């Protein structure tokens, strides 16, 4: 751990080279490319306000695009449910917004998931039409080792009634309606059958009412969620899962709780029963489905110092909290890039995009790599975050709070991090993503600004691109060669992005001939270009 902490401090003190310049307008598409240092490959992204998912080469040239399905969403608004993934079999996995979601009146029915071939034809489709369920945000095609087949894992809210919420410990004196929509995870096979479910409502602890079965001491039960954190009831969306990942070797799932700024690891293998969904639900709802590991905000379970401010906000500390609203939690491994796992720097560690929106003091975004293990990853032994300890940053301004604040505490499990010295040079307040690349570099997707850039381990920017796909109210495609300061956030936004190596299996045999930049191929004319 000492060696890893040295790597972290070295990265911090070297200083990051990517100072942004200030301007009222600037060009879109490729801004910078250093072929000698960048990880060569193809980058995929799906603009919220566009009409296509794009695959571009290192020079910003479109090599392929998949049109969004007609009739989904509202013209000029988001038509795709967050993002799309290119699978190893060459099919595109995407979520699209159910058109009825925009016809007014809750509850929203959630996403429809589709597999699309290289020619844009839908070859498989699934939607969860059960009442009270709403698929949203993240999803992933996983390999279920017990079934020895691919299955779809996705995030969904699952409605509960006022009385059900009271039975879990919510205070009836605070509201006449505690009906809620706590998030969970659902797994389905490719025949559309639900085969596994997990929901946060089954993993609750509370200290308010000793007559309830989930009563207990919060600090003694870190595997459960405090339903009454900070002496207040949780809102209807209790944890808001916005990202997930699956580890085949461990048969475990990691999920991000953006509301509390922490992530959890849960057991899939020991809660899944082949051919018996009810038995799987029962195991997932038992103690076997509790958190195996949690990280980011120990204040939430009464084991760490909470953020606080004094002197009317002139001085603040973030305590032991390490994350401040986050997205895209993942295990670093050989996924969607086409390289050997042994080539990936940090294989098995966690990587996460910290938006930083809820940080006390100056806000900024950062990328964190976390090593949570006692020994090797495959041993599956996690060190509790408070037991791993923290180190006081040697100087302010380069850690987790601004210079005028007290020196931040940095977890000893953070072995690498990235942020720019100028906070406004890199700040994606919501959505966004990250990916470790095959040469040790890191791809960062600042979603609200349509900004993609690649950095070396030392923080040097070696590739940079800005999406030209923006608001379509002024044209069918909404393609812009220039972005201006008054365009506003989300104008050219996307949820996240990914890069695939040229030897990625999903690209084998595909025509990847450069066809021109997006601004050259797609215009504001209503006709679609020939692909």
Residue 167 lies in a domain: no
User: CA quadruple 51, 53, 59, 63: dihedral positive or negative?
Assistant: negative
Span 361-367, average pLDDT: 91
Span 165-179, average pLDDT: 85
Span 226-230, average pLDDT: 81
Where residue 379 sits, what CATH number does that domain have? Answer: 2.120.10
pLDDT tens track for 270-288: 999 999 999 999 999 999 9
Return d(Cα 203, Cα 227) in angstroms, integer: 9
| Number of Cβ within a 10 Å radius of residue 137 | 25
Which residues make beta-bridge pairs with 116? Answer: 92, 122
Residue 295 lies in a domain: yes
Residue 335 lies in a domain: yes
Return d(Cα 154, Cα 494) in angstroms, integer: 19
Whether the predicted pLDDT of 13 surpasses 80: no
Span 132-150, average pLDDT: 95
pLDDT band at 448; cut points 50, 70, 90: very high
* C-beta separation of 147 from 93 below 8 A: no
266: tokens are 């849960």
Return d(Cα 223, Cα 203) in angstroms, integer: 8
> Domain range for residue 31?
27-35+42-159+185-384+419-504
**How many domains are there within the chain?**
1
Q: Which residue's structure tokens are 């017990």?
A: 146
Span 171-188, average pLDDT: 88
Q: What's the pLDDT score for residue 412?
A: 97
Return d(Cα 148, Cα 106) in angstroms, integer: 38
pLDDT tens track for 230-282: 655 666 788 899 999 999 999 999 999 999 999 999 999 999 999 999 999 99
% pLDDT > 70, the chain: 82
Whether the predicted pLDDT of 378 surpasses 60: yes
Residue 448 lies in a domain: yes
517: tokens are 């930049």
Question: For the range 441-445, what are the long-range contacts, defined as Cβ-Cβ under 8 Å and sequence gap of 24 or more?
Answer: 441/37, 441/38, 441/39, 442/351, 442/367, 442/418, 443/39, 443/43, 443/497, 443/498, 443/499, 444/353, 444/367, 444/418, 445/45, 445/353, 445/494, 445/496, 445/497
Residue 402 lies in a domain: no
Q: What's the pLDDT score for residue 272?
A: 99
Q: What's the pLDDT score for residue 365?
A: 96
Peptide bond between residue 379 and the one before it cis (omega within 30 degrees of 0): no
Phi, psi of 320 (to 5 degrees): -90, 0
Span 436-452, average pLDDT: 95
Whether the predicted pLDDT of 76 surpasses 60: no
Residue 5 lies in a domain: no
Residue 397 lies in a domain: no
pLDDT band at 335; cut points 50, 70, 90: low
Q: What's the pLDDT score for residue 110?
A: 75
Residue 406, C-beta contacts closer than 8 angstroms, at least 6 positions apart: 315, 316, 317, 396
| Number of Cβ within a 10 Å radius of residue 434 | 25
Residue 164 lies in a domain: no
* C-beta separation of 402 from 324 below 8 A: no
């Amino acid at each position: 751990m000492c060696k890893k902490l040295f790597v972290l401090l070295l990265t911090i003190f070297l200083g990051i080279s990517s100072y942004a310049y200030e301007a009222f307008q600037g060009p879109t598409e490729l801004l910078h490319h250093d072929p000698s240092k960048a990880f060569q490959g193809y980058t995929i992204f799906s603009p919220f306000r566009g009409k296509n998912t794009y695959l571009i080469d290192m020079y910003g040239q479109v090599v392929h695009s998949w049109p969004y399905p007609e009739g989904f969403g509202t013209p000029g608004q988001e038509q795709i449910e967050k993002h799309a993934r290119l699978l190893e079999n060459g099919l595109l996995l995407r979520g699209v917004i159910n058109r009825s979601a925009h016809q007014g009146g809750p509850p929203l029915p959630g996403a429809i998931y589709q597999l699309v071939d290289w020619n844009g034809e839908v070859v498989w489709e699934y939607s969860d039409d059960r009442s009270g369920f709403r698929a949203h945000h993240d999803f992933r095609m996983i390999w279920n080792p017990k079934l020895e087949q691919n299955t779809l894992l996705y995030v969904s809210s699952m409605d509960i009634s006022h009385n059900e919420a009271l039975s879990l410990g919510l205070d009836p004196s605070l509201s006449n309606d505690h009906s809620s929509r706590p998030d969970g995870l659902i797994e389905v096979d490719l025949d559309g059958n639900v085969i596994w479910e997990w929901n946060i409502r089954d993993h609750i602890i509370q200290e308010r009412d000793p007559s309830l079965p989930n009563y207990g001491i919060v600090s003694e039960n870190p595997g459960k969620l405090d339903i009454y954190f900070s002496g207040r009831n949780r809102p209807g969306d209790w944890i808001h899962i916005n990202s997930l990942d699956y580890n085949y070797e461990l048969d475990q799932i990691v999920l991000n709780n953006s509301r509390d700024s922490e992530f959890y690891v849960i057991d899939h293998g020991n809660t899944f029963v082949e051919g018996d969904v009810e038995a799987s639900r029962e195991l997932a709802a038992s103690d076997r489905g509790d958190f195996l590991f949690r990280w980011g905000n120990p204040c939430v379970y009464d084991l760490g110092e909470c953020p606080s401010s004094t002197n009317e906000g002139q001085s603040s500390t973030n305590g032991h909290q390490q994350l401040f609203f986050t997205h895209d939690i993942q295990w670093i491994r050989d996924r969607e890039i086409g390289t050997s796992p042994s080539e990936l720097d940090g294989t098995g560690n966690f990587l996460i995009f910290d938006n930083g929106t809820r940080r006390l003091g100056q806000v900024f975004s950062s990328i964190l790599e976390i090593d949570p293990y006692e020994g090797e990853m495959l041993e599956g032994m996690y060190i509790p975050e408070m037991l791993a300890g923290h180190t006081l940053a040697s100087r302010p301004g380069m850690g987790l709070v601004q210079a005028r604040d007290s020196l931040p505490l940095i977890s000893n499990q953070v072995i690498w991090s990235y942020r720019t010295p100028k906070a406004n040079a890199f700040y994606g307040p919501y959505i966004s993503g990250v990916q470790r690349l095959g040469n040790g570099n890191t791809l960062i997707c600042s979603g609200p600004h349509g900004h993609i850039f690649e950095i070396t381990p030392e923080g040097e920017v070696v590739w940079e691109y800005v999406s030209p796909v923006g608001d379509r109210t002024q044209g069918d495609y909404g393609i812009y060669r220039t972005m201006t300061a008054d365009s506003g956030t989300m104008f050219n936004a996307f949820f996240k992005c990914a890069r695939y190596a040229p030897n990625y299996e999903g690209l084998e045999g595909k025509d990847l001939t450069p066809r021109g930049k997006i601004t050259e191929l797609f215009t504001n004319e209503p006709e679609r270009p020939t692909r």
